[in-house]
Structure 1
């Protein structure tokens, strides 16, 4: 991988395009605060042409450009780009399709129009001193030779970055990497990975793209976004740091609280088994696991919960063993023998089955005390 990889969050743009999700101005401000506070230095903040509350937020956010590079998204229309620059934004993204399917069905234009429009829009924005990012949307269904030609065209026009969008997430890592490699080999332009998660390959494709020479990549908090979402911020940050030795400068201790903030804003709870930030990531029930964890937490955790702002939990349930029962009773200053442990374990497993869920520590201790009192 390159040694200058840049993560850019698009929760406030692509993330909010998840069906049924809408952030008001205050919510968007809180999310931007949290992203910048966590060390995210590139944020795609929204779409000025939407107007209304979106525009009011963007007018307020423009004053924060010294804290992070704030990118605004625009259609491939000069009026959009001009409006964004007039607002004072110094970084603009221009969304344009590259596949014949999208050119025909989405904008009703051909390839010659695309090359000319892209060139003119890039040159206009560069003449006004902006950082210019531009899309090649739907690269999965774009012929590779034309994708390279398009990349060369926007590079010659002065674009700073080309976003390679797997718009409906239908590429595998090998094919996504091949497209990135061809572009960076034949065009003098930085590439950004934008990988949707329709087949669960968003981060795999992003990782493949980074290995193939991309410099930038897109993420959202909790992977929220259109349809099945896209690459998740927490997963990308921690995996790159832990597995590939790439530290992006993100304060990982804030990842769990950031996830909770966005989940609440989306009115959708984070699933317990969400990697990195889910409530079950550091929760342990299996008797064999807990027995080992009580001796050395590295036995069944890839990294400590404190690293991502999480919390370790031991859960009493159907699969628990004696080690956890013993630990809880000892912590509550109860004396017991092996018969007590066996009886508590039998009660615990049946109770968990009856309620189809976990049992609280206080319930276990209360059962133990009742059993002891009856034995007296």
Structure 2
């Protein structure tokens, strides 16, 4: 995880976390490098914008030299890497190899890449780079997840993500990349926590955000089914309408008793409460349900459906 060192002072974090798990994010500035060292960081990621066709900036070289003298680990994030010709990197390798760089982060700050170009460029870079390669894309065109997965397909082993895709300029949503890596790329290392959805919701909450109900992978309503056709299909074979089981990410399947509900929906909801109703009874209930939904301008709760059933049964 990368954390700007200017933001870390407000947190009380154990030193081992700073040493082992976090990378301090900073510009090529010796003053901030000294501060990061005093705070306990051992790993730094230096954010740098390279001028196409030029040599590496002097302040970057000085900063990397300072990191080396402090015996800290460094990653170099070239934020505008996607603006550079892929062959231009060959001129940078000899200079960069003199410094303690563990990882080169290929940045697409301006969202210039599409999934096809992402694959081609990174596959080419991996042939020549002497460093481990990471990819840090953004989401101006809604392609962050696709670009991240293309980077992985090309052979990159680390991509930048954020829960829900939050952040300036947007990022690839962590939950989408993880599920895509598991189910589409068949990555054996993509281990999905069965509490993924609740965890993502909690993290978003800490940030003062709320995940959309229809958010891919972790939205609470992505396994909500209303229309009679969908409910009938899901009751027989959930895979007809669901790419993966809700339990895999900590969600549950639920039926919506709304204006598009059919008799099957009512029968399934009532059956879950131990009540079997005939097709004829379900048709009669459906007329009342649709009228009530229109009156209250929202779907009925399971409890409301049960009340309607009990009221009709006593007539």
Q: Does the alignment reach a TM-score above 0.5?
A: yes
Cα gap change, 1:268 to 1:294, in 2 (>3 Å): same
Q: Which residue of 1 aligns with 2:234?
A: 293
CA contact (8 A) 1:238 1:252 kept: no
Q: How does 1:172-191 map to 2 (within 5 A)?
A: 172-191=114-133
Cα gap change, 1:99 to 1:312, in 2 (>3 Å): farther
Cα gap change, 1:185 to 1:332, in 2 (>3 Å): closer
Q: Which residue of 1 aligns with 2:16?
A: 63
Q: How does 1:1-376 map to 2 (within 5 A)?
A: 43-44=1-2, 46-50=3-7, 54-57=8-11, 60-65=13-18, 68-99=20-51, 111-112=54-55, 114-227=56-169, 229-248=170-189, 250-334=191-275, 336-374=277-315
Q: Gaps spanning 5+ residues in structure 1: where?
A: 1-42, 101-109
TM-score by length of 1: 0.76
Q: Distance in 2 between matches of 1:49 and 1:294?
A: 53
SS in 1 for 2:236: coil
Q: Distance in 2 between matches of 1:318 and 1:216?
A: 46
SS in 1 for 2:314: helix
SS in 2 for 1:226: coil
TM-score by length of 2: 0.90
Cα gap change, 1:94 to 1:332, in 2 (>3 Å): closer
SS in 2 for 1:211: helix
C-alpha RMSD of the superposition: 2.4
Q: How far is the alpha carbon of 1:358 from its aligned partner? A: 1.7
Q: Distance in 2 between matches of 1:250 and 1:140?
A: 30
Q: Gaps spanning 5+ residues in structure 2: where?
A: none
SS in 2 for 1:301: coil
Instruction: Between the two structures, name the one with larger relative contact order (CA 8 Å, sep ≥ 6).
Output: 1
Q: Distance in 2 between matches of 1:336 and 1:49?
A: 63
Q: How far is the alpha carbon of 1:253 from its aligned partner? A: 1.4
Q: Deviations over 1:56-100 (max 9, x none)?
A: 42x62433257x521110111122122212322121000111245
Q: Distance in 1 between matches of 2:245 and 2:314?
A: 40
SS in 1 for 2:67: helix
CA contact (8 A) 1:271 1:278 kept: yes
SS in 1 for 2:130: coil
CA contact (8 A) 2:178 2:192 kept: no
The number of residues matched between the two structures is: 315
Q: Distance in 2 between matches of 1:163 and 1:195?
A: 10
Q: Deviations over 1:14-60 (max 9, x none)?
A: xxxxxxxxxxxxxxxxxxxxxxxxxxxxx22x22235xxx3142x62
SS in 1 for 2:311: helix
Q: How far is the alpha carbon of 1:351 from its aligned partner? A: 3.3
